[in-house]
Structure 1
């Protein structure tokens, strides 16, 4: 699919962006353009990945001219650029709007103007019935993509809606592992709070599948296990203490309470979206062009699940692979 093509990865220095680059290189594209504003992280990627067609471009999606100059002759665009932390977006709402909405609109307009083939945009399950700034910007970002997809057949625009990638930088699992390693109290906001979780490999595969299958306007959502924070915390403590030889009974859990803007329970899909939803073994696909007309029940039937075994395996893989 990507052989001899020009690929633009926006936000390539993040967890998923970096893994996407490594995957795409295997297909021998003509060029992969890595676009972002963190000079140091671009330097680190350049040191870790060797490929003649790899080019680092320092720029910001808030700057439309910067985007326009890098998007010429591009075939596929992957957008992972965003302000993602709920607390920081609550405290800096206009910054969240400038990146998550104005920056995204710049991507959409440049892609349309320059005849890009496909644009795959990364969203979050916080976009479903949002109660915070970050979720609201993600919800509106999905609407921007959908609006353009409904208005044009080229480029093809589609969205992937990630759940919590718990290997990502700054994730709660990384925070807890650092606290356990330092023998500090493990801080937890609300023990009964639930989150959907996924591995970065599944996130990468979701993006690549979306790029292959998208016809325009779809939202691709991974079927993910749901878990209470307290249960996740206990899994992390048990796995880390066993692997590092730490007495788990010596680890203190400190409840700090919910932070501003945090939802107690997140959702994969909104009620109004279910009539447009189809599913396969591992993905829910919201397709605005295929409403289930004439059916009393939607084709979507996936229910929340708390798969402790899967979450254990996820956490084990994270601990083994983390450099802490």
Structure 2
């Protein structure tokens, strides 16, 4: 799939020779992203921006100056716009991953959640505009769709900030878009590592909040591929949603520990039974491509026509992308295969 004859979906056309900054770069996605970029591409500079000194130290042991002289480590917080601006000088592309991601932690620490996820998004926009960054791609979550918890609401607000930022970049040329996907297998804080810790600790059962629960499921490797291709194809203001499978949480538990019983503990505050990636209200602005959906910015026919030229087709106005009504489900062997990938 190509957008134009000289702008392929292959991200090599923009990543090679470019200066890239990734916020939250020492997290699960950040490490997988750096793994892929240093293996397959040749950026001129790769800046790891995060606030955890120890994680940066540990990452620098794996990606050291001698072997990776183009990697730079910046200790900083997205709450600090001056530090962000300093880090973004000379940067071409920003991947924004930094967030307070845990639902329960966000509920109990609302001010911290807003400062990181919402004010942090604003600061990324301000710094990118000040430094004339070419493209900013922000990572979002299915929990930002019809949110029922503060984490999801804060990510929805962040998404709105990044989409609206395109109206502020006239004369500068900076472009802002969003990637939205579901649970990442083996990422820190996700359900699979939690089950694994319990199993390794000798648990006699695995906790299940509700046996009906479903989730979208994506591997770190697929997530990195999707972000890189979305960075290459983005115009401005789109929300990119990958076509990914769903799983039943009970199937995941059975795959990880087939002999352990399940203990039903009840759904938690702020937790959904099923997750959504595209609502019916989004459908009127959504195009379907081979491997993804693209939620277009409102009344931007030029962007719509560009994606339609490469095969984008409007979805039905009643379309919804919900984890319990997905057309693709992972079976036991496929679930086990995802659990072997990308254990960071």
Counterpart among 147, 167, 172 of residue 191 in structure 2: 172
Contact 2:286/2:296 (<8 A) preserved: yes
Q: CA deviation at 1:307?
A: 3.8
Structure-1 residue corresponding to 2:243:
223
Helix, strand or coil: the match of 2:180? Answer: strand
Cα distance in 2, alignment partners of residues 299 and 208 from structure 1: 30
- Extract unaligned runs of 5+ from structure 2: 1-13, 306-313
* Aligned counterpart in structure 2 of residue 13 of structure 1, from 26, 32, 45: 26
Identify which of 231, 249, 252 aligns with 1:232: 252
d(CA) in 1 for partners of 2:268, 2:43: 44
Q: SS at 2:284's partner residue?
A: helix
Q: Tell me the residue number matched to 1:244.
A: none
Residue from 95, 109, 112 that aligns with 1:95:
112
| Root-mean-square deviation (Å) | 2.2
- Taking the aligned partners of 1:213 and 1:4, their CA distance within structure 2 comes to 17
> What SS is found at the alignment partner of 1:268?
strand
The equivalent of 1:273 in structure 2 is 282
Relative contact order: is structure 1 or structure 2 higher (C-alpha 8 Å, sep ≥ 6)? Answer: 2
Q: So what's the TM-score if we normalise by structure 2? A: 0.84
* SS of alignment partner, residue 257 of structure 2: helix
Paired residues of 1:145 and 1:159 also in contact (CA < 8 A): yes
Distance in structure 1 (CA, Å) of the matches to 2:182 and 2:286: 17
Give the deviation of 1:173 after TM superposition.
1.0
Q: Which digits, 9 at most, give the CA deviation of each residue in 1:171-196, with x for residues without a partner?
A: 11111122223330211111112211
Count, aligned residues: 310
Deviations 1:233-273 (A, max 9, x none): 223223xxxxxxxxx1xx23222211211111110112211
3-state SS, counterpart of residue 158 of structure 1: strand
Structure 1: tracts of 5 or more residues without a match: 239-247
- Map 1:5-84 onto structure 2 (within 5 A): 5-25=18-38, 26-49=40-63, 50-84=67-101
Residues 95-104 or 1-10, more deviating: 1-10
Contact 2:145 2:278 in 1 (8 A): yes
Contact residue 279 and residue 299 of structure 1 kept, 8 A: no
CA 91–302 in structure 1, closer or farther in 2 if over 3 Å, else same: closer
- Give the CA deviation at 1:3: 2.2
SS at match of 1:211: helix
Query: 1:120 matched to which residue of 2?
Result: 137
How much does 1:312 deviate?
Answer: 3.6
Q: Look up the SS of the partner of 2:123 in the other structure.
A: helix
- The residue number in structure 1 matching 2:262 is 253
Alpha carbons 1:128, 1:268 under 8 Å: kept: yes
Query: 2:219·2:338 contact (CA, 8 Å) conserved in 1?
Result: no
User: Given the superposition, is the C-alpha separation of residues 147 and 43 from structure 1 closer, same or farther in structure 2, using an over 3 Å criterion?
Assistant: same
1:308 deviation in Å?
A: 4.1
- The secondary structure found in structure 1 opposite 2:211 is coil
